[in-house]
Structure 1
Amino acid sequence: MRSVTLILVVGILVLQWPMWFGKGSWIRVMQIESQLSEQRTVNERLLARNTAMAADVRDLKQGHEAVEERARNELGMVKPGEVFFQVLGRPSGR
């Protein structure tokens, strides 16, 4: 009687082993779900960045205002005959 019980317990353990510790185990499923959640967060951030970049590209292709704005802000360029004034704020020490 004891040997039958022991054989059944060992059989159950052998059948349960892959579910708990195998390739498709519960532990591995939880790890993959965590990785998936992290990747979705990264993808959302990258999608927002790509959308902003696509809007910049569209503006640069379609209108000259965006090109002029970039030239003024990033390169310090001015149009011929234009006067550039730079207004400085108060020193931060006061």
Structure 2
Amino acid sequence: MRLLYFVLILILSLLSYHFIVGNNGVMDYKRIEREVNIQHRNNQVLIERNTALKNEILDLRNGYDAIEERTRNELGMIKEGETFYRIINDDH
């Protein structure tokens, strides 16, 4: 009878070990769940970035205001008839 209990406990222990640590066990499930959550966050960041880029493309295609803003900021261009003033802060 003691041998039967020992064998049953041994079998239960092995099954529990495989359930928790074994292939496709609880540990694998938790690891994969963490990886999926990380990927969801990365996807959300990329979706927001893509939306911003799509909006910028639409602005550039449909309006001259966005093009004008970019040329002023990035290329330093001014309109004809405008005067450009540069203010230099002299802290000396």
TM-score w.r.t. length of structure 1: 0.79
Q: Secondary structure at the residue paired with 1:57?
A: helix
Aligned to 1:48: 48
After the TM superposition, list the runs of 4 or more consecutive aligned residues in structure 1 that deviate by more than 6 angstroms: none
Identity %, equivalent residues: 32
In structure 1, stretches of 5+ residues that fail to align are none
Question: What does 1:16-31 correspond to in 2, within 5 Å?
Answer: 16-31=16-31
Q: Distance in 2 between matches of 1:48 and 1:65?
A: 23
Label 1:63 to 1:40 Cα distance change in 2 as closer, same or farther (>3 A). Answer: same
Aligned to 1:13: 13
Q: Secondary structure at the residue paired with 1:82?
A: coil
In structure 2, stretches of 5+ residues that fail to align are none
Deviation at 1:52, TM superposition (A): 0.8
Aligned to 1:83: 82
CA RMSD of aligned residues (A): 1.9
Letter in 2 for 1:86: Y
Q: Distance in 2 between matches of 1:85 and 1:53?
A: 30
**1:23-63 C-alpha deviation (Å, 9 max, x unpaired):** 22111212222222222222222211111111000001111
1:74 aligned to 2:74? yes
Kept in 1, the 8 Å contact 2:71–2:77? The answer is: yes
Q: Distance in 2 between matches of 1:86 and 1:32?
A: 58
